[in-house]
Amino acid sequence: MSDDKVLVEKGDGYAVIKLNRPDRLNAFTPVQNTTLLEALTQADDDADSRAVILTGAGRGFCAGQDLGERNPDDGTPDLGRTIDTYFNPLIRKLRAMQIPVICAVNGVAAGAGANVALACDIVLAAKSAKFIQAFAKIGLVPDSGGTWTVTRLIGEARAKAIMLTGMPVTADTAEEWGLIWKAVDDDALMTEARALTSNLAGGATVGLGLTKMLIQAAGTNTLDQQLDLERDTQRDAGTTTDYAEGVSAFLERRPAQFAGRR
Ligand code: T3D
């Protein structure tokens, strides 16, 4: 899947998905939303793609909903419907993907653009990038899972401050607060993102996918529930060929060659 609004490129064992409306800072239109969801679904279903990089073209990552499509003179839109149709499926897909999704935030990430980035599994950001919960500036509430994700990542005090004020959060501060994994020099962003993703793509894909699900479940499980879930999931992981290969490689003192299959 590749059209001019969302570009898909194959890396070595992974897919690079790039939002591509640079003149609008990659703001979301229905077509871009739908195409992005299709690209993520296709990567998740493709046995040759064992990880994904999500990034943006030009100087921005994504400025959220394209406000050019929301002219108040056209009447009152049903924003609940657009969220149900476009944004929520995207966040659900990112969380449910069985392969790691690395977000390389190349520039400003605002509104739903920020929360799509923060729903990814590992977030790297160029030092010049900023995260802006822009919703307050236009009379909306944070969406795309922002109130859930951001509050869990940085706590209520910081979440309320950035969401009520709409103040930009720099990449360095985002790293310091634990909102993202790492801020990197602008010209090193894609090199680092590719190195990390390539490494993950060569890993024990089923085990990595199960690890992601366990971490996500931990947010709402009790310790007892999580212990049981870890037991059941480990039982499953122990049946994979990658587990057998990992142990054999260790015993034979050689690098493991994971096939990324059960
Ligand atoms: O509606 C629904 O379905 C509900 C769901 C909502 C989800 C949301 O995401 S709501 C939040 C929408 N996004 C925003 O409110 C952010 C709006 N943009 C900005 O505040 C600023 O553009 C930024 C802080 C992101 C970046 O500022 P700056 O100074 O670096 O760039 P700029 O000059 O403002 O923008 C560059 C161009 O992109 C400019 O176009 P021009 O003048 O060169 O022709 C600007 O109009 C355009 N642009 C930026 N953001 C959007 C946009 N065009 C349409 N929609 C945008 N969101």
What pLDDT score was predicted for residue 55?
98
HSE value, Cβ hemisphere, 13 Å, CA-based, for 191: 5
Measured from the CB, is residue 143 less than 6 Å from ligand 1? yes
Q: What is the CA radius of gyration of the chain?
A: 19
Q: What's the predicted TM-score (pTM) here? A: 0.97
DSSP letters for 68-120: GG--GGG----HHHHIIIIIHHHHHHHHH-SS-EEEEE-SEEETHHHHHHHTS
Q: Cα(247)–Cα(219) distance, rounded to whole angstroms? A: 30
Domain containing 233: what range? 205-252
Residue 3 predicted with pLDDT over 70: no
pLDDT tens by residue, 142-198 = 999 999 999 999 999 999 999 999 999 999 999 999 999 999 999 999 999 999 999
pLDDT tens by residue, 52-79 = 999 999 999 999 999 999 989 999 999 9
- CB atoms < 10 A from the CB of 152, how many? 14
In a domain, 108, yes or no: yes
The reply to whether 62 and 168 lie within a common domain is yes
Measured from the CB, is residue 258 less than 6 Å from ligand 1? no
The reply to whether 193 and 211 lie within a common domain is no
pLDDT tens by residue, 67-115 = 999 989 999 999 999 999 999 999 999 999 999 999 999 999 999 999 9
The reply to whether 146 and 66 lie within a common domain is yes
Structure tokens at 233: 């999931």
Pairing mode of beta strands 15-19, 52-56 = parallel
The reply to whether 67 and 185 lie within a common domain is yes
Query: Going along the chain, which residue ranges are E strands?
Result: 6-10, 15-19, 52-56, 60-62, 101-105, 108-110, 122-126, 130-132, 169-170, 182-184
Task: Classify the phi-psi angles of 139: left when phi > 0, otherwise alpha if psi is within -120 to 50, otherwise beta.
Answer: left
What is the percent of the chain with per-residue pLDDT over 90, rounded to a whole number? 95
Work out how many domains the chain is built from and give that number: 2
pLDDT tens by residue, 219-237 = 999 999 999 999 999 999 9
Measured from the CB, is residue 163 less than 6 Å from ligand 1? no
The overall average pLDDT reported for the chain is: 97
Measured from the CB, is residue 145 less than 6 Å from ligand 1? no
What pLDDT score was predicted for residue 87?
98
Beta carbons of 99 and 119 less than 8 angstroms apart: no
